[in-house]
Amino acid sequence: MSLSSKVLYDQFVHELEAKWELDESKKVAEIVFDHLFGFSRIDIFLNKSIPQSDERLAPILQRLLNGEPVQYVLNHAAFFGLSFFVNSEVLIPRQETEELVALILKENGHTSQNILDIGTGSGVIALALCIHRPNWNISAWDLSLEALDVARHNAHQLNLTVDFRCLDILTKDPDTDQYHLIISNPPYIPSAEKLLMAGHVVKYEPELALFVADDHPLIFYDAIAKYALKSLKEKGKLYFEIHEDFAHQIQTLLNHLGFEEIVIHDDLNKKARMASATRG
């Protein structure tokens, strides 16, 4: 028996309103219906039929009502026009990280280069760059073996080649004149900010990838910048995603280490969320 997608969608949204406001409930419902049925908002508006009842909806709804992010429930996240597998071992990709990828692509051409992504997580930065710059030789590191399993799965699904390795940047010795670009979206949220963050982020997303000690919030920026200072080729570039509250400190750090052409970039919300610098 076929079902009305509009009726089923409205019922799903109504149930979600026990947890979220109407607009957020609609957004989550649209993600679910697109993932399960391939239905866009327009398909639902046109009331396309669903062939039969889908038993997957009830457990999905329950997990969502428990506060689990929809991306983990569906094991799926969209990033830079691509589809990625995600689970609770990796961060859910954010809009700001898409803007970092866009900045890198804008400022760097197609010529063959050696690229390093530090703290790759699910691999979204490395793999998005790999799609758009097939001539680039891309390596990606993470401390978490579980995250690297996710990244390698995504590379396999997208039929892309990235050299993934389990390495700790806090203890890694420099590789002299190795890379044209080094990129990182490292942990940067002070632990004290946990109390200010949405419950689903703190409860479900990996703490290792989010938080740093309150007394040393720039620990990864300092380590990565020092590594990059020796490991970048001459005039090689360093790109960071950053916490807006630490933009000035990161600029000062990069300047103190001797980087040139240091730029703090605003995101679409006019917040300082990216930094770039050039090795002299």
pLDDT digits (tens, 9 = 90+) for 202-256: 788 888 887 878 778 999 999 999 999 999 999 999 999 999 999 999 999 999 9
Query: b vs e for 243-262, b when ≥16 Cβ sit within 10 Å of the residue's Cβ?
Result: beebbeebbebbeebebeeb
Query: What integer pLDDT is reported at residue 1 of this predicted model?
Result: 61
Phi and psi for 24 in degrees, rounded to 5?
-70, -40
Residue type, 83: S
Average pLDDT of span 182-205: 82
DSSP one-letter code for 207: H
Instruction: Provide CB contacts within 8 A for 274, sequence distance 6+.
Output: 96, 99, 100, 103, 239, 240, 241, 242, 264, 265, 266, 267
**Residues 261, 255: contact at Cβ < 8 Å?**
no
174 DSSP 8-state letter: P
Count Cβ atoms within 10 A of the Cβ of residue 159 and give its class: 0-12 exposed, 13-18 middle, 19 or more buried: exposed
pLDDT at 53 over 90: no
List the beta strands (DSSP E) in the chain: 3-4, 49-50, 77-79, 82-84, 114-118, 137-142, 163-166, 179-184, 189-190, 211-212, 232-241, 260-266, 272-278
Average pLDDT score over the chain: 93
Express each pLDDT in 68-82 by its tens digit: 999 999 999 999 999
